[in-house]
Amino acid sequence: MQKIPYLRELGVTAVELMPVFQFDAQENNYWGYMPLSFFALHRQYGSTQQSDRLLNEFRAMVKALHQADIEVILDVVYNHTCEGDENGPTYGFRGIDNTTFYLLADDRRYYRNDAGTGNVLHTANRYVRGMVLDSLRYWANEMHVDGFRFDLASVFTRRSDGSIDLQDAPIISAIRSDPDLAHVRLIAESWDISSYQLGRTFPGIT
């Protein structure tokens, strides 16, 4: 918030925040790109450790930026989590239902690694897809952000067997048709480790 006058002086009209999701600070988080929770703010980014005050700090920042006519875009990571490969660590999703949350290799023992982080979130699964949509709605409706930049968005085209669906990937269709997300900016990074989609358009997502 202290930088807002400087940003206005520069003529900035939007800021994109690197990932703000909670991560395990004891693990290699790579600037927040190893998310632990898609609904929680990383506690070390705020001036308070109390959850309600941390949320209010974030909302106050967004409100102040909006008052300065500056939009807020979040860099979001829905292509993988911090749970790594078959060697762990295990935090939650793997323990709840491994095959629901992650894309596994043919032998069901090893993880697909199209994100280059040890695992790939199974966004073709309707429950995982629902969780991602709930997270997007939360940040848009409750935290009032103006848009999202999707890290390694080509992972969204992965079917349950790991093959690529360029015609009608379910999660892309769900985001595109969600009324709560109709007003937000959507930016998709065009590649993953084994798929490069630069120049290909998905209706509703630039």
26 in any annotated domain: yes
137 in any annotated domain: yes
Per-residue confidence (pLDDT) for residue 197, from 0 to 100: 58
Residue 4 token pair: 């807002």
Per-residue confidence (pLDDT) for residue 108, from 0 to 100: 78
147-150/21-22 β-pairing: unpaired
CATH number of the domain encompassing residue 73: 3.20.20.80
29-55 average pLDDT score: 92
Task: Indicate the residue type of 170.
Answer: P
Task: Output phi, psi for 201, to 5 deg.
Answer: -105, 140
165-194 average pLDDT score: 87
**Better pLDDT: 143 or 196:** 143
Q: Is the pLDDT score of 14 beyond 70?
A: yes
Catalytic (active site) residue 151 = yes
Per-residue confidence (pLDDT) for residue 192, from 0 to 100: 64
9 in any annotated domain: yes
Per-residue confidence band for 157, with pLDDT thresholds at 50, 70 and 90: confident
What distance in Å separates the CA atoms of residue 153 and residue 78, rounded to the nearest whole number? 8
**CA nearest neighbour of 37 among 117, 95, 91, 104:** 91
- In SS3 terms, the chain reads as CCCHHHHHHHCCCEEEECCCEECCCCCCCCCCCCCCEEEEECHHHCCCCCHHHHHHHHHHHHHHHHHCCCEEEEEECCCCCCCCECCECCCCHHHHHHHHHECECCCCCCECCCCCCCCCECCCCHHHHHHHHHHHHHHHHHCCCCEEEECCHHHHHECCCCCECCCCCHHHHHHHHCHHHCCCEEEECCEECCEECCCCCECCEC
172 in any annotated domain: yes
- Of 57, 71, 178, 189, the catalytic one is 189
Catalytic (active site) residue 165 = no
- Of 75, 114, 151, 192, the catalytic one is 151
21-42 average pLDDT score: 91
157 in any annotated domain: yes
Total number of domains constituting the chain: 1
203 in any annotated domain: no
108 in any annotated domain: yes
Q: Is the pLDDT score of 195 beyond 70?
A: no
35 in any annotated domain: yes
111: containing domain: 4-196
